[in-house]
Chain A
Amino acid sequence: DAKTTQPTSMDCAEGRAANLPCNHSTISGNEYVYWYRQIHSQGPQYIIHGLKNNETNEMASLIITEDRKSSTLILPHATLRDTAVYYCIGALGSSGSRLTFGEGTQLTVNP
């Protein structure tokens, strides 16, 4: 699995966009970038994933650089409930394969 590097913590004002960066310079061509979050020791919650193209769903947008060495998760209008640890994970995405969680980024959304 690709090693990923994320800032330890970030703050964001409620209602503003939260942009969470991730470096994954060793990611291989067939590894996807997955984002999960964990709210206060609850189970990790899937957010979004992508391979090369930018992706958007109802929760977030994922911007992957052309060289695939880094990506940014964007929460367009952060709310207090988005306060969580966000994990960027490089993984093959094949069934049965492990997800390797790092330390993640603690995002705190402030009122």
Chain B
Amino acid sequence: EPEVTQTPSHQVTQMGQEVILRCVPISNHLYFYWYRQILGQKVEFLVSFYNNEISEKSEIFDDQFSVERPDGSNFTLKIRSTKLEDSAMYFCASSELWHPSTDTQYFGPGTRLTVL
């Protein structure tokens, strides 16, 4: 069964450093998403992306965040200058283009980001 994959599984970085989290969405999916979950808190939406453009973003997704589809298979989340409060699990998801039924998002296993 096709799956969303994410690398690395765990990333440790120093405050102020840039990090790039990588995701390989399901191959025929066209919409991509990032969510995060701070330890002990809810899963929170960050951004959705389609056709090389951001479709929707949350108030969390400020100028320090960016997303990119650098090639035909990868989808990345960049955090420019990490803060302690960016420590969280980051989940990538993907979905097919909407059709008359509904569009279901499928999530990857997550990357645990630890900012020291």
Contact = CB atoms under 8 A, between A and B. Distances in A.
B87 interface: no
A42 B43 contact: no
B104 A49 contact: yes
A99 B95 contact: no
> Number of contact residues on A: which range applies?
20 to 34
Given A95-B95, A96-B31, A101-B44, A42 B110 contact: yes
Contacts of B44: 101
B91 A44 contact: yes
A93 B48 contact: no
A98 interface: yes
Contacts of A93: 98, 101-104
Contact of A94 (B58, B93, B103): B103
Main secondary structure of the interface of A (DSSP, over half): loop
A99 B103 contact: no
A45 B89 CA distance: 15
B45 A98 contact: yes
Interface of B: 4, 30-31, 33, 35, 37, 42-45, 48, 50, 55-56, 58, 89, 91, 93, 95-98, 101-110
Interface of A: 32, 34, 36, 38, 41-46, 49, 51, 87, 93-103
